[in-house]
Amino acid sequence: MELEYDPSESQKHVQITFFSNDSEIRVPDSVFDVPTSVECDDLNLLLNKTAAASDGNKIIFCSCKPMKNAADQWKDRRFEFLVGDTFLRTSLEEFIEEYEVGTETVVKVEYVIGIEAPKPVHDIQAPDWVSSVQICNGHIFSTTYGGDIVIVDKKGKETKLATSSADRLLKCSSIVTKPTKGATHLDGIEFLVGGENQLLTLYGIEKGALFEKVLLRGHERAVECVSVNSNSSRAISGSVDTNLKVWNLESSDESTTFEKDEEEKAQKRRKKETKTKVPMVTIGGHRDKVSAVEWCPWKSGNAFSCSWDHTIVEWDLELAGEVSRIKGPKSFTDIHIHPVNGLLISSCTDATPRLYDAKTRDGTMVKQSFIGHQGGWVESVKWNPLNSNQFVSVSTDHTAKMWDVRSSKSSLFDIHGHEDRILCVAWNEGLIATGSADCTIKVFETA
């Protein structure tokens, strides 16, 4: 099983063995003696050859599935290699030096199937700068700085819905209705948008028409961010006026409905009545603009918010008080919490996304910094909801980067294409959508 390397090369060799947790791609255990200068491509070649050879020798993989036929030949695949918990990106030698891996024993190298590069699917022209994107039910919802709401289906066709593109500037959006799996219909979807006019508007879609359902009034300055909880009953929003406001979205709720004066009612009777609501709770505590809010995935009454005052705060909304506070190095631009493992990825006004553990209360320690963006800010970060290791970050350097938590020094993939700053990103249902200041939304498909 030795691969032919030139024996005259007098360099260090190290013994490695491959293993995998995925039973489908398991190869027989054997120890390889490889020079330390090997890189991922060499290991890939080695592994593929080993697998093919073992296939040929009818040493069948420890597969739980019955083999379809003997001629089911091994197909060359691209693997990624992990030593310990870290991806191998450079040559083995550099890796050993950097992480001080013991070379006396056999180095155990885990291999996983390399994920495919995200494929560009659509390039959607928006009427203005894109301020936010959401993906739901196979549709891409986005808001623009011109006040438009653009809804595009999976095929890249824009769904024209009658919108009242008033003179306003939309900054954020959130889907209220939780997507049902596999559904592609639009009817019944509700979503919440907020903007510079200090209002949040709840839109509903019925029979292919978009209509304003509820106006949420209460912020004193532009609404920067909004988030709806998992059972679509509450929304929390943050604003430039440093306050967080919690809104009741239940249609049965009347307690927070804003009663207009009789006169006003009389004046506006002609118009179609839209309900106006006031906030349930107002939470102050930040000293600067609130840039992002997130519901706590493991505790329904809690939420996280990040602000330009360099902090991420966990709030108890029932008590309207602060639970814990993470002090960051710079002003935060975005946070996102993975719904499964509770890790919090954040972006600051610099080029480095940072990973925190939101569950530890004294968690001011940065777990990981991801270095790779070239200058500017990281504007937004989003986890892959299907994979607890992957996230995407978009930056003012016109690129988006896909990362794996286990590889902090280099990204998995760089997504180029935008000609201006990327302002927002969404990752859902196997799609990455990025919205940029060049007035386009680009959609990428991930495996």
Which residues are at the interface with another protein (CB under 8 A)?
129, 131, 145, 169, 196-198, 220-222, 224, 240-241, 287-289, 291, 308, 330-331, 349-351, 375-377, 396, 421, 423, 437
Beta-sheet pairing, 290-295 with 368-369: unpaired
Tell me whether residue 308 or residue 391 sits nearer to another protein (CB atom): 308
> Least Å distance between CB 128 and another protein?
9
* Contact predicate 232/177, CB 8 Å: yes
> Least Å distance between CB 38 and another protein?
37
Tell me whether residue 350 or residue 404 sits nearer to another protein (CB atom): 350
Q: 48 — phi, psi (to 5°)?
A: -65, -40
> Least Å distance between CB 291 and another protein?
8
Question: Which residues make Cβ contacts (< 8 Å) with residue 392, sequence separation at least 6?
Answer: 381, 382, 384, 400, 401, 402, 403, 415, 425, 427, 432
Taken as a whole, the chain contains a residue count of 447
Exposure string over 372-387, b if 16+ CB within 10 A, otherwise e: bbeeebbbbbbbbeeb
Rg from Cα positions in the chain: 25
> Least Å distance between CB 379 and another protein?
8
Tell me whether residue 132 or residue 137 sits nearer to another protein (CB atom): 132
Rounded to the nearest 10°, the torsion over CA 299, 301, 305, 311 is -80
Tell me whether residue 139 or residue 168 sits nearer to another protein (CB atom): 168
How many other CB atoms are found less than 10 A from the CB of residue 12?
11
> Least Å distance between CB 437 and another protein?
8
- Give the H or E element holding residue 417: none
Tell me whether residue 308 or residue 403 sits nearer to another protein (CB atom): 308
> Least Å distance between CB 84 and another protein?
31
Question: Which residues make Cβ contacts (< 8 Å) with residue 11, sequence separation at least 6?
Answer: 35, 36, 37
Output DSSP code: residue 16.
E
Here the tokens at position 110 are: 């885990």
Tell me whether residue 160 or residue 416 sits nearer to another protein (CB atom): 416
> How many Å apart are CA 167 and CA 149, to the nearest integer?
13
> Least Å distance between CB 228 and another protein?
23
Tell me whether residue 136 or residue 437 sits nearer to another protein (CB atom): 437
Closest CA to 236 of 166, 180, 292, 182: 292
> How many Å apart are CA 122 and CA 258, to the nearest integer?
42
* Contact predicate 435/131, CB 8 Å: yes
Tell me whether residue 87 or residue 377 sits nearer to another protein (CB atom): 377
> Least Å distance between CB 375 and another protein?
6
Using the structure block, give the residue that is written with the tokens 């885990």: 110
> Least Å distance between CB 131 and another protein?
8
Tell me whether residue 197 or residue 324 sits nearer to another protein (CB atom): 197
